[in-house]
């Protein structure tokens, strides 16, 4: 794999060219960051764990007719993906109030939302990924009105699938972040990853507010046992995918 040239290094992944211009290799890192990289650390085996969780979920989504960038996983921490032009939006879907929604609205942590909330954040580290209004989204021409509509529909469909999938893992899906890209035919496809880095996942049977957390909030809030929680998520995903 080392013969491929690095084209981009993000906070959690390195992207490499391959011999085929339509295929990239994503190498998942153990590095962890939070609060726009103000907090940095590593989570042992995170690269392998997140790559394997994402790979299984993307294959399951493909079976539901959702197009993703996933091709295959040639090594435990590597994913071959379709080369796409990333739309610079972080699409967040929330089912239960947590994180910035609580901080910015005063809603109590754990409040069940009457319907899923779909939010768009501008994927721009320098600006700190600000929340966008639909008018600002239009102003910045980050996506056309039709693309926004399609992204909302896809995000809600993915949410329905994921709620059920995580439920089978005895995990409650609180919220998550998606990124989409355009392929060579300008079709919108799901990119990036779906993992404990990008989802809030609570152990359904655990009521203790600290013990129930199985996602990156353990790292963000220094709750300890981060790797154990990620490993446990992977084990449950593997068990459900075997069924
Ligand atoms: P938030 O409550 O901090 O806005 O996060 C909402 C969801 O998005 C949560 O599941 C974590 C995920 N997320 C990312 O994947 N990347 C990010 O940079 C941020 C801020 C959140
Ligand atoms: N991944 C983001 C960062 O470091 C933030 C987060 O996930 O909390 O910047």
Which 8-state DSSP code applies to residue 126?
A: G
State residue 179's pLDDT score: 98
Does the domain spanning 85-241 belong to CATH 3.30.470.20? Answer: yes
Average pLDDT of span 137-163: 97
- Cα(25)–Cα(17) distance, integer angstroms: 6
Distance CA 75, CA 1 (A): 10
* pLDDT at residue 132, rounded to an integer: 98
Average pLDDT value for residue range 126-145:
96
Copy the structure tokens of residue 204: 């359904």
Task: Tally DSSP H helices, then E strands, for the chain.
Answer: 6, 14
Computed over every residue of the chain, the mean pLDDT equals: 97
- pLDDT at position 243 is 80
pLDDT tens column, 159-183: 999 999 999 999 999 999 999 999 9
DSSP state letter for 131: B
Mean pLDDT, to the nearest integer, of 22-51?
A: 97
- For residue 136, which phi and psi values (nearest 5 degrees)? -70, -35
Which 3 state secondary structure label does DSSP give 149?
A: helix
pLDDT over 90 at 3, yes or no = no
Query: Class assignment of domain 3-82?
Result: alpha beta
Domain ranges of the chain: 3-82, 85-241
Cα 199 to middle of ligand 2, angstroms: 12
Instruction: Please give the distance of CA 210 from its chain centroid, rounded to a whole number.
Output: 22
Q: Residue 98: nearest ligand to its CA? A: 1
Whether 2 shows a pLDDT value over 80: the answer reads no
How many angstroms does the Cα of residue 39 sit away from the middle of ligand 2? 8
- Ligand 1 pocket, CB under 6 A: 92, 98-101, 129, 175-177, 198-200
Q: Which residues of 49-78 are buried (b: 16+ CB within 10 A; e: fewer)?
A: bbbbbbbbbbebbeeeeebbbbbebeeebb
CA of 216 to the centre of ligand 1 (A): 9
Say which residues have a Cβ less than 8 Å from residue 48's Cβ, sequence separation at least 6: 28, 76, 77
Quick: pLDDT tens for 57-78: 999 999 999 999 999 999 999 9
Note the pLDDT tens digit of each residue in 221-241. Answer: 999 999 999 999 999 999 999
For residue 57, the surrounding DSSP H or E stretch is helix 46-63
Ligand 1 atom closest to Cα of residue 176: 10
CA distance linking residue 96 with residue 116, whole number of Å: 8
| pLDDT number for residue 97 | 98
Tokens describing residue 1:
């794999």
* Tokens found for residue 158: 């993915």
34 alpha carbon – ligand 2 mean position (Å): 4
Contact 29, 91 (CB under 8 A): no
What's the pLDDT score for residue 134? 93
pLDDT value for 4: 84
In this prediction, residue 156 has a pLDDT band, given cuts at 50, 70 and 90, of: very high
Report yes or no: 204 and 241 within 8 Å, Cβ to Cβ.
no
**Residue having the nearest C-alpha atom to atom 5 of ligand 2:** 34
Going by alpha carbons, the residue nearest to atom 1 of ligand 2 is 34
Q: What is the pLDDT of residues 106-127, one digit of tens each?
A: 999 999 999 999 999 999 999 9
pLDDT at 90 over 90: yes
């Amino acid at each position: 794999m080392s013969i491929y040239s690095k084209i981009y290094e993000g906070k959690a992944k390195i992207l490499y060219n391959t011999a085929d211009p339509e295929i990239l290799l994503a190498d998942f890192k153990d590095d962890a960051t939070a609060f726009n990289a103000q907090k940095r650390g590593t989570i042992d085996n995170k690269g392998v764990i997140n790559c394997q969780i994402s790979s299984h979920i993307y294959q399951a989504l493909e079976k539901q007719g959702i197009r993703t960038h996933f091709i295959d996983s040639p090594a435990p921490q590597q994913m071959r993906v379709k080369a796409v032009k990333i739309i610079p939006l972080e699409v967040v879907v929330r089912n239960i109030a947590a994180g910035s929604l609580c901080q910015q609205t005063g809603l109590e942590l754990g409040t069940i939302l009457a319907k899923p909330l779909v939010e768009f954040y501008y994927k721009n580290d320098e600006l700190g990924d600000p929340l966008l209004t639909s008018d600002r989204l239009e102003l910045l021409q980050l996506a056309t009105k039709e693309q926004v509509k399609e992204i909302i529909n896809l995000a809600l469909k993915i949410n329905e699938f994921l709620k059920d999938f995580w439920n089978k893992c005895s995990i409650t899906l609180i919220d998550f972040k998606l990124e989409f890209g355009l392929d060579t035919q300008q079709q919108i496809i799901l990119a990036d990853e779906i993992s404990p880095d990008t989802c809030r996942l609570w152990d359904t049977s655990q009521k203790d507010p600290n013990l129930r957390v199985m996602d990156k909030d353990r790292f963000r809030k220094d709750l300890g046992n981060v790797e154990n929680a990620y490993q446990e998520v992977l084990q449950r995903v593997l068990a459900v995918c075997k069924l």
